[in-house]
Amino acid sequence: MLELLDITKVYKGGKRAVDGLTLRLGPGLLGLLGPNGAGKSSLLRIAATVTRPTSGRVRFDGADAIARPGELRRALGYLPQDFGVYPNLSAVEFLAYLAAVKGLSARSARARIDELLELVNLTHAARRPLGGYSGGMLRRVGIAQTLLADPRVVIVDEPTAGLDPEERVRFRNLLSDLAADRLVLLSTHIVSDVESVATRIAVVKGGRIRLDGTPEELLRGVAGHVWEVTVPPEAAAGLQQRLLTTRAVRTPAGVRLRVLATSRPLADAAPAAPDLEDAYVGAVHR
Amino acid sequence: MNALLGLALADFRERARRPAYLLMLISAIGLGLLAVPPTGAHWSVLVIGGFRGRYTSDYVGMVTALTSALWLTLVGFYLVRDAVTRDERTGVGQLLAASPLRTPVYLAGKLLSNVMVLGSMVVVLAATALVLLLLRGESRTVDPIALALPFALVALPMLVCTAALAMLFETTPVLRGGLGNVLWFFVWMIGAIGGQSPHAPFGGLGLRPVTLPAGASQDVGNDVGLGLMYVDEPLRTFDWPGLRLDAGFLGGRLALTAVAIAVALLPALWFHRFDRPARAGRAAAGPEPRTDYKGLPRTEPRRGGTGPRLLAGELRILVRGAPLWWWLGAGALALGGLAAPPGAVLALVWIWPVLLWSRLGTQPAASGADAILAAYPAPRGRVVAEWCAGALLAAAIGAGAAARMAFAGDLPGLAAWTAGAAFIPALALALGALTGAPRVFQAVYTILWYLLINDTSALDFMGALRDHGRLTGPSPALWAVAAAAGVATALARTAWRETRR
């Protein structure tokens, strides 16, 4: 469906945000994980036709989406990390405008806008100017516009920023439904955003894919390498510097460290069941 | 003092690292070339009773300093008047508001930054003056003090004044927006004309030391004109004796600078210090109602004709947010067009929406919606719809005048009206698309409109000027072509952005 082939993006000043990266994507949810500055947003902007790559190809259904982005744009729902709205328009008016830009008929636009506003829990505020919305409400307007034209490709960049816990759960359910027969590309640095819904996870660092596979494959990659040990608080800082620590939790008995190591790192360390955060940290610090 | 200098320096660095700053410096060189033309040139910015001074260090310094005092005050205002707005837009203001920085120090820092930006243009102008002094070759002596002194005493106080007024406008509620941009042109014009008077307070623009050649007043008159003047024959030259400093002149310049600083600090009494409510609407009160997730929308999206809805959307974006008094004024003007003959009324009608038109081409970036729209199809269609919305606004407000012309069978007038309704939004769209800011259109259109109502028939883009009922301006076809060029410019800019995305 969507292919990103040997993509490189070099910004002015020589900053190489994406470095010869290739992804072939079909239906399902790909969670793109990576630390800040890893190149996730640049990659998503390229996939969404917002930014041209310095080199490489983007193909949508086999056609060149860099030279002729129109087809992909009509099939795309894109939610950028930061975006603004027209503050004097209401949510209904803003979405109606965007539906017209997408080429939706008046009748289907009206019906879908009502349904989408209910979906993102904004029906009660639908006629209020967007300038009075909170950050989380604006985020939900952004999610609604993403789904206006029932896109085949959904690209969302840090979509849960600003959402409260309940809305996050609702959003994950939504993504899960979407991914059944569409391509969903989701970028985040919060592992819990993708661990329950992703069919595939790619870890990006320095503009390159460091790890790519199903969640099960990623977990298998660190199986047997995760250890837990409780140490006195005064020793914790030193150990965290020495060992690759994925978590540190203060308990009455001391600080419980979760450590990645190929062999038992300390005599009293116990093996632990790996989770995706371990796989992520392992990939980033490999 | 450290906070003030730190703030000013950071603000200046932020501005100086933008590409527009380089353009500003290059334009300063252009201003220098205008001020010290070649010997055979048919223009002059300073005519002293039919003479100009021989190009010595004194005269070249004085004429370029006066040029900057006159023109940089107009343009400079628009260049520096976003010091506070930028802090608001970027959120830096919130950080500063939560710091121990006192409001007068903040304002003084911003003033200093404004002065540094304008001052750097003056430095470039002074360097240009030196080069031109050597190039023109009318004097082999370079006196750096004589060259620089007019910049310090004539140009700099005027630029401090401009920087201070930019601060005042930016921090005063009514003047903060586009209305202030329009108003500045008239403030500047009054200052530029009044400041040339020998009785102007604080020495005015600084023309007082410019004296006529000895014994020349009898045959050439007493005129000392500052502006941009066409001369039939290259001006005769005389040896200008240089800037004679006296206590009155020096005291005036110092007093002008002191008053300017006070004007910049005055808004400390009412400055909001970034404690401002959301831009529109009211924040939601109380907890939100919750609904259960019931799955994806069931309605199938279907494709259909979108032109009218796209136009309606653009029209909403353009006019929504205009206050009630604006709508009342617009209604009165539209009706007034029915009652009074076209001409001056049409000119009045078509200055009213200047702030709304100035939004054209700038709204997606100004609101941040461009982050979403960048991945949407039909960028060219949006540009055309935006222009149509601007033209519809012009047509709606000018409807009374058009109806009157239609009833009277005034077809040439109607043609000019149509071309004007097309041209104005096209100009706004082109300038908005090119510069990304509404200020340029606000300034350019105000100047154009002012020249028009002052009977400059060559610039009559709406058919307002008539001689015994006949239109005196260029053919409406010409303005229609200009309108098409404006839309084409905006489309080209969009296409260029697409290739550079």
B positions 314-353 inside 8 Å of A (CB): 314, 316-317, 320-321
Give B22→chain A minimum CA distance, Å: 18
Any A CB within 8 A of B276 CB = no
Confidence class of residue B250 from pLDDT cuts 50, 70 and 90? very high
pLDDT over threshold 70, residue B286: no
- Please indicate whether, in this complex, the C-beta atoms of B289 and A86 are within 8 angstroms of each other: no
Q: List the Cα angle A117/A120/A123 in 5-degree steps.
A: 40
CA distance B159 to B296: 61
- Please indicate whether, in this complex, the C-beta atoms of A106 and B321 are within 8 angstroms of each other: no
The mean pLDDT value of chain B amounts to 89
- Please indicate whether, in this complex, the C-beta atoms of A86 and B317 are within 8 angstroms of each other: yes
Mutate to test the interface with B, among A11, A88, A168 (most CBs of B within 10 A): A88
What is the b/e burial string over B264-295, where b = at least 16 CB atoms within 10 angstroms of the residue's CB? bbbbbeebbebeeeeebbeeeeeebeeeebee
Residues of A whose CB is below 8 A from B388 = none
- Please indicate whether, in this complex, the C-beta atoms of B375 and A70 are within 8 angstroms of each other: no
Any A CB within 8 A of B139 CB = no
Tokens of A183: 């391509």
Q: Quick: pLDDT tens for A79-106.
A: 999 999 999 999 999 999 999 999 999 9
3-state secondary structure of A96: helix
Confidence class of residue B493 from pLDDT cuts 50, 70 and 90? very high
CA distance B15 to A198: 44
pLDDT over threshold 50, residue B220: no
Give A231→chain B minimum CA distance, Å: 40
Give A198→chain B minimum CA distance, Å: 18
Residues of B whose CB is below 8 A from A128 = 281-282, 284
DSSP state of A104: B
pLDDT of residue A247: 92
- Please indicate whether, in this complex, the C-beta atoms of B297 and A48 are within 8 angstroms of each other: no
Tokens of B83: 């010091």
- Please indicate whether, in this complex, the C-beta atoms of B500 and A170 are within 8 angstroms of each other: no
pLDDT over threshold 70, residue B217: no
pLDDT over threshold 70, residue B209: yes
- Please indicate whether, in this complex, the C-beta atoms of A101 and B376 are within 8 angstroms of each other: yes
Contacts 24+ apart (CB under 8 A), B249-255: B249/B153, B249/B203, B249/B208, B249/B209, B250/B153, B252/B201, B252/B202, B252/B203, B253/B153, B253/B154, B253/B157, B253/B202, B253/B203, B253/B206, B254/B157, B255/B202
Q: Quick: pLDDT tens for B118-164.
A: 999 999 999 999 999 999 999 989 999 999 999 999 999 999 999 99
Confidence class of residue B280 from pLDDT cuts 50, 70 and 90? very low
The crossing angle, in degrees rounded to 10, of helices A276-284 and A215-222 is 70
Chain B residue whose CA is closest to A52:
B501
Chain A residue whose CA is closest to B308:
A100
Q: Quick: pLDDT tens for A108-167.
A: 999 999 999 999 989 999 999 999 998 889 999 999 999 999 999 999 998 888 888 888
Q: Across the interface, which of A93, A118, A155 has its CB nearest the CB of B291?
A: A118
3-state secondary structure of B38: coil
Mutate to test the interface with B, among A74, A86, A116, A128 (most CBs of B within 10 A): A86
Residues of A whose CB is below 8 A from B499 = 52
Q: Which range is least confidently modeled, A134-143, A252-261, B20-29, B110-119?
A: B20-29
- Please indicate whether, in this complex, the C-beta atoms of A108 and B302 are within 8 angstroms of each other: yes
- What is the number of CB-based contacts under 8 A between chain A and chain B? 180
Sheet holding A16-25, edge to edge: A16-25, A2-10, A55-60, A63-64
- Please indicate whether, in this complex, the C-beta atoms of B369 and A106 are within 8 angstroms of each other: no
Give A279→chain B minimum CA distance, Å: 31
List, in sequence order, the alpha helices (H) in B137-272: 144-150, 156-171, 178-194, 217-220, 247-265
- Please indicate whether, in this complex, the C-beta atoms of B278 and A109 are within 8 angstroms of each other: no
pLDDT of residue B42: 87
Confidence class of residue B284 from pLDDT cuts 50, 70 and 90? low
Mutate to test the interface with A, among B302, B318, B362 (most CBs of A within 10 A): B302
Mutate to test the interface with B, among A101, A148, A150, A178 (most CBs of B within 10 A): A101
Chain B residue whose CA is closest to A144:
B297
Any A CB within 8 A of B141 CB = no
- Please indicate whether, in this complex, the C-beta atoms of A52 and B296 are within 8 angstroms of each other: no
User: Which residues, in sequence order, are CB contacts of A116 under 8 Å at separation 6+?
Assistant: A95, A144, A147, A148, B297
pLDDT over threshold 90, residue B336: no
pLDDT of residue B342: 72
Average pLDDT of span B243-249: 86
- Please indicate whether, in this complex, the C-beta atoms of A116 and B289 are within 8 angstroms of each other: no
Residues of A whose CB is below 8 A from B284 = 125, 128, 132-134, 137
pLDDT of residue A165: 86
Q: Among B192, B183, B257, B242, which residue's Cα sits nearest to residue B45?
A: B192
- Please indicate whether, in this complex, the C-beta atoms of B303 and A48 are within 8 angstroms of each other: no
- Please indicate whether, in this complex, the C-beta atoms of B283 and A103 are within 8 angstroms of each other: no
Chain A residue whose CA is closest to B313:
A97
3-state secondary structure of A247: strand
Q: Across the interface, which of A48, A107, A112 has its CB nearest the CB of B297?
A: A112
Q: Quick: pLDDT tens for A206-232.
A: 999 999 999 999 999 999 999 999 999
- Please indicate whether, in this complex, the C-beta atoms of B280 and A106 are within 8 angstroms of each other: no
CA distance B439 to B181: 7
pLDDT of residue A197: 87
Confidence class of residue B281 from pLDDT cuts 50, 70 and 90? very low
- Please indicate whether, in this complex, the C-beta atoms of A100 and B373 are within 8 angstroms of each other: no
Give A276→chain B minimum CA distance, Å: 27
CA distance A216 to A267: 29
Give A154→chain B minimum CA distance, Å: 11
Q: List the Cα angle B246/B251/B252 in 5-degree steps.
A: 105
Any A CB within 8 A of B23 CB = no
Q: Quick: pLDDT tens for B408-435.
A: 899 999 999 999 999 999 999 999 999 9
pLDDT of residue B215: 62
Any A CB within 8 A of B363 CB = yes
Residues of B whose CB is below 8 A from A84 = 367-371
pLDDT of residue B285: 55
Number of H helices, E strands in chain B: 23, 6
Q: Which range is least confidently modeled, A233-242, B35-44, B338-347?
A: B338-347
pLDDT of residue B327: 92
pLDDT over threshold 50, residue B256: yes
CA distance B235 to B454: 28
Burial of residue B453, with CB atoms counted within 10 A of its CB: 0-12 exposed, 13-18 middle, 19 or more buried:
middle
pLDDT of residue B264: 96
